[in-house]
Amino acid sequence: MGKYDFDRVIDRRGSGAMKVDALDEFYGRHDLLALWIADMDFAVSPCICDALVARMRHPIYGYATVPDSYWESIISWLDRRHGWKVDRSELTYIPGVVKAIGYAINHFTAVGESILIQPPVYHPFRRLIEGNRRVMIKNPLLLDEESGTYRMDFDDLEAKFRDHRPRMMILCNPHNPAGLQWDEESLRRVASLARKYGVVVVSDEIHGDLMLRGTRHIPFASVSDDAAEVAVTFGAPSKTFNIAGLVSSWCVVKNPALRNSFFEWLEINEFSAPTFVATLGTEIAYRCGDDWLDEVLEYIEGSFDMVERILAERLPAVKMIRSNASFLAWLDCRGLGLTHQELIDLFVDRAHLALNDGAMFGDEGEGFMRLNLGSPRSVIREAMDTLVACVEGAGL
Ligand SMILES: Cc1ncc(COP(=O)(O)O)c(C=O)c1O
């Protein structure tokens, strides 16, 4: 038994949690087990809760300073956990990674220019590109059926860089939904091609602290001089410590030519001005959260093992993509032989399970579902038992 109780089932209904309180809006029904949106159903580390509650007792919530200790906590975390040296001048606050990708798109590219992504990938990337009237270029990941995992298609990447001349690439490192930390060699190759073709690489590293089974997070900007030259990196304590609602993220840009104009633009628009809740939550999480994070990762690894076992023994038509990062299980359901709509009906209407529909992540995700394992194991087990029973009941 560890120090923290991740088996505890906490009722989030009525707390305004999107994961449970927006089921009706997104699925058309509320009687579903919520295993979709990427936050966790675990209580945050008590040190975070205590610090926020103590501050909130002070009855004035006015404009706040940003303490030096806030910046130091981020710099120290990146060095301590990932061996990544970042200077204060290379770092700024951003109010969320999705918003910041939108800022970067607006700052570094013009309407009508192309931006490359690697589907199946986190769905807001597409919305940000198309909604900002840029052109989306796809470099789909290759699924290696034998090893059960994805790799990048570098021939296609170079061809897309050469033929479409995108101004930007949005890299997901680690990758969502596949739960993959990219290896150093792949990141180096991306960097060298990006530099050759003058592409800014926005690296979304929001899942970077959630490393499983001894995997090391490799910040894209750290792999080579090319990478440091082209990278705009976004990260956050939000996924790591289950504090997404505090809206606190950071941006690191090593290359002064990219950094100076971007940071200045963020500052002019006050996009880089955090609330005191953001700075306090971030600092306390990075200073006191190591043991909570290590324990939660161990718990999640155990949940991955459990799901893998259940699928192998009772539902072999569904395979889990081999992942090494985050709490998201990417389920390959193509073996069930259903159309994508039938698959959604099976999960939602028969099994009453709210997972993320794989096609949200691009056409490449058809036949897949994304299962969030950031819940107590009893909940995950219940979901798997129900799914197995429904598949058997449907005679699939
Ligand atoms: C890859 C990725 N980027 C960004 C986000 C959201 O980040 P934020 O809440 O900081 O906008 C998520 C959340 O699921 C994510 O998985």
Tens of pLDDT, residue by residue, the chain (396 residues): 689 999 999 999 999 999 999 999 999 999 999 999 999 999 999 999 999 999 999 999 999 999 999 999 999 999 999 999 999 999 999 999 999 999 999 999 999 999 999 999 999 999 999 999 999 999 999 999 888 999 999 999 999 999 999 999 999 999 999 999 999 999 999 999 999 999 999 999 999 999 999 999 999 999 999 999 999 999 999 999 999 999 999 999 999 999 999 999 999 999 999 999 999 999 999 999 999 999 999 999 999 999 999 999 999 999 999 899 999 999 999 999 999 999 999 999 999 999 999 999 999 999 999 999 999 999 999 999 999 999 998 877
Would residue 10 count as lying in a domain? Answer: no
Does 167 share its domain with 177?
yes
Would residue 222 count as lying in a domain? Answer: yes
Going from the Cα of 123 to the center of ligand 1, the distance in angstroms, rounded, reads: 10
Is the minimum distance from the CB of 240 to ligand 1 under 6 angstroms? no
Would residue 136 count as lying in a domain? Answer: yes
Does 248 share its domain with 388?
no
Q: Which of 98, 94, 97, 96 is nearest to 124 (CA)?
A: 98
Does 76 share its domain with 224?
yes
Does 275 share its domain with 231?
yes
CATH code of the domain covering residue 82: 3.40.640.10
Q: Which atom of ligand 1 is nearest to the CA of 38?
A: 14
Would residue 8 count as lying in a domain? Answer: no
Does 233 share its domain with 257?
yes
Going from the Cα of 312 to the center of ligand 1, the distance in angstroms, rounded, reads: 30
Is the minimum distance from the CB of 244 to ligand 1 under 6 angstroms? yes
Does 249 share its domain with 336?
no
How far apart, in whole angstroms, are the C-alpha atoms of residue 323 and residue 303?
Answer: 13
Does 28 share its domain with 134?
no
Is the minimum distance from the CB of 181 to ligand 1 under 6 angstroms? no
Does 279 share its domain with 314?
no
CATH code of the domain covering residue 349: 3.90.1150.10
Out of 272, 288, 304, a domain closes at: 288
Would residue 3 count as lying in a domain? Answer: no
Does 356 share its domain with 322?
yes
Does 177 share its domain with 269?
yes
How far apart, in whole angstroms, are the C-alpha atoms of residue 121 and residue 172?
Answer: 8
Would residue 5 count as lying in a domain? Answer: no
Task: Say what the pLDDT of residue 360 is.
Answer: 96
For 313-332, letters b (16+ CB in 10 Å) and e give: eebeebbbbbbbbbbbbbbb
Task: Say what the pLDDT of residue 377 is.
Answer: 98
Does 263 share its domain with 275?
yes
Would residue 53 count as lying in a domain? Answer: no
Structure tokens at 321: 């993509």
Domain span holding position 296: 18-45+290-393
How far apart, in whole angstroms, are the C-alpha atoms of residue 196 and residue 181?
Answer: 24
Going from the Cα of 148 to the center of ligand 1, the distance in angstroms, rounded, reads: 25
Top mutation candidate among 19, 97, 205 for ligand 1, by most atoms within 8 Å of CB: 97
Does 113 share its domain with 231?
yes
Going from the Cα of 34 to the center of ligand 1, the distance in angstroms, rounded, reads: 18
Alpha-carbon torsion (342, 348, 352, 353), positive or negative? positive
Would residue 13 count as lying in a domain? Answer: no
The answer for residues whose C-beta is within 8 angstroms of residue 87's C-beta and 6 or more apart is 75
Task: Say what the pLDDT of residue 145 is.
Answer: 87
Number of domains the chain contains: 2
Is the minimum distance from the CB of 170 to ligand 1 under 6 angstroms? no
